[in-house]
């Protein structure tokens, strides 16, 4: 079978990866030791055993606990460097990486520490791995819009080190409209804007992300299939969806990969992409997402593989010339 080899070897862009979700249990324990942070888990195996999620919130509780070991600039550098080295092995040539500053500033870590460490890893990865990497600052939607504004304010001196903003964390009960003003300000500042919507939330949240936040891409968006008018809108405006199959499986959005709607999204002509979301927690990096999804859905062929790789470049915020060179 040559399809897994093609999926692994094809150059691709990764557009939906939370850098805090790339923190492997081994690195969590190494950083805990280095920084003298106490963890509520005895060892790596005990932590891994806690990775049995039932929904988004059950994951987020453990994900925020894992991030508590990140204190120094070098910690953020080491985390992002490890991800970029791993992504390069999967033939990722371009990555747009979410980071959650509020997860760190709430613990007293300066946003300068976070951004400088992550940015230095992106610069070094280009020189050492030939991978291009950009950062997207993501607001936590379970916190207030006022808190998001304060975070944007703290990030202003570092505006040249991130290309856009996103919206993540607990979706249900926190619709996009809650962040209308701060996203308007981000657009005025010339930042790209994306938002998680339609992961667990209804199609109305995807409409809100498009109409109110003016999101250029929708992260997840898999609930769009329940709204025919929305599907037409996404197809006509070529609004990309950054789909994360193993994330959807582990958070019980779909009962199995065989039940995933990626084929329906592609069939409807949407600019769907495949991404890893939180690879250390969901059991695989981007190539594992491709290979396991294609194995579970034999309707997907080499033609779909090419389409998904092509979509990942079209959907990226890389300069037009680079997108064309990648294909």
Q: Which is nearer to ligand ES4, 17 or 305 (CB)?
A: 17
Q: Which does 56 bind (CB under 5 to 8 A by kind): ligand ES4, Zn ion, none?
A: ligand ES4
> Which candidate, 116, 108, 90, places its Cα nearest to that of 22?
90
Query: Does residue 200 touch Zn ion according to CB under 5 A?
Result: no
146 is catalytic: no
DSSP letters, 194-254, are EEEESSSS-HHHHHHHHHTS--SEEEE-GGGGG-HHHHHHHHHTT--EEE-HHHHHHTTSS
Query: Does residue 174 touch ligand ES4 according to CB under 6 A?
Result: no
Q: Which residues of 110-137 are buried (b: 16+ CB within 10 A; e: fewer)?
A: ebebbbbbbbbbbeebeeebebbbbbbb
- 111-129 and 73-89 helices, crossing angle to 10°: 30
Residue nearest to ligand ES4 (CB): 168
Q: Which does 105 bind (CB under 5 to 8 A by kind): Zn ion, ligand ES4, none?
A: none
Query: Does residue 20 touch Zn ion according to CB under 5 A?
Result: no
Structural element, H or E, at residue 122: helix 111-129
Q: Which stretch binds Zn ion (CB under 5 A): 65-73, 134-142, 187-195, 271-279?
A: 271-279
Compute the distance between CA of residue 21 and CA of residue 67 in angstroms, rounded to an integer: 8
Query: Does residue 279 touch ligand ES4 according to CB under 6 A?
Result: no
Q: Is 55 labeled as ligand-binding?
A: no
User: What is the DSSP-derived secondary structure letter of residue 283?
Assistant: T
Residue nearest to Zn ion (CB): 277
Asked if 179 and 148 count as a contact pair (C-beta separation under 8 A), the reply is yes
Give, in order, the Cα–Cα distances in Å from 9 to each of 2, 12, 49, 263, 279. Answer: 11, 9, 32, 21, 19
User: What is the DSSP-derived secondary structure letter of residue 171?
Assistant: -
- 302-315 and 286-296 helices, crossing angle to 10°: 140
Q: Which is nearer to ligand ES4, 66 or 203 (CB)?
A: 66
Compute the distance between CA of residue 185 and CA of residue 72 in angstroms, rounded to an integer: 30
Residue from 81, 103, 247, 273 binding ligand ES4 (CB under 6 A): 247
User: How many residues of this chain interact with ligand ES4, rule: CB under 6 A?
Assistant: 11
Residue from 71, 277, 293, 305 binding Zn ion (CB under 5 A): 277
Q: Which is nearer to Zn ion, 70 or 71 (CB)?
A: 70
Query: Does residue 250 touch ligand ES4 according to CB under 6 A?
Result: no
Query: Does residue 14 touch ligand ES4 according to CB under 6 A?
Result: no
Query: Does residue 171 touch Zn ion according to CB under 5 A?
Result: no
Q: How far is the CB of 194 from ligand ES4 (least distance, A)?
A: 12
Q: How far is the CB of 280 from ligand ES4 (least distance, A)?
A: 11
In the complex, the residues that contact ligand ES4 under the rule CB under 6 A are 18, 21, 56, 63, 168-169, 196, 199, 247, 277-278
Residue ranges at the known binding site for substrate: 278
């Amino acid at each position: 079978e040559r399809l897994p080899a093609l999926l692994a070897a094809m150059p691709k862009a990764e557009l939906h990866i939370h850098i805090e979700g790339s923190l492997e249990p081994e690195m969590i324990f190494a950083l805990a030791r280095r920084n003298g942070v106490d963890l509520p888990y005895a060892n790596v195996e005990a932590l891994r055993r806690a990775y049995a999620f039932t929904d988004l919130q059950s994951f987020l509780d453990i994900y925020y606990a894992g991030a508590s070991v990140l204190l120094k600039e070098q910690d953020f550098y080491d985390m992002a460097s490890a991800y970029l080295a791993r992504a390069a092995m999967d033939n990722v040539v371009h990555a747009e990486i979410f980071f959650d500053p509020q997860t760190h500033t709430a613990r007293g870590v300066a946003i300068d520490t976070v951004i400088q460490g992550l940015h230095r890893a992106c610069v070094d990865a280009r020189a050492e791995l030939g991978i291009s990497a950009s950062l997207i600052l993501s607001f936590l939607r379970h916190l207030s819009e006022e808190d998001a504004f304060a975070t944007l304010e703290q990030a202003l001196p570092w505006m040249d080190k991130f290309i856009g903003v996103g919206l993540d964390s607990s979706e249900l009960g926190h619709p996009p409209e809650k962040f209308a003003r701060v996203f308007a300000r981000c657009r005025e500042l010339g930042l790209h804007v994306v938002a998680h919507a339609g992961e667990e939330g209804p199609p109305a949240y995807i409409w809100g992300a498009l109409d109110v936040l003016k999101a250029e891409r929708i992260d997840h968006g898999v609930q769009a299939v329940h709204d025919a008018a929305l599907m037409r809108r996404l197809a006509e405006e070529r609004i990309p969806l950054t789909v994360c199959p193993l994330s959807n499986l582990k958070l019980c959005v779909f009962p199995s990969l065989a039940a995933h709607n990626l084929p329906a999204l592609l069939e409807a002509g949407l600019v769907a992409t495949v991404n890893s979301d939180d690879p250390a927690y969901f059991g695989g990096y981007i190539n594992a997402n491709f290979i396991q999804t294609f194995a579970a859905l034999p309707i997907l062929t080499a033609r779909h593989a090419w389409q998904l790789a092509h979509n990942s470049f079209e959907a990226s915020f890389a300069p037009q010339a680079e997108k064309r060179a990648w294909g």
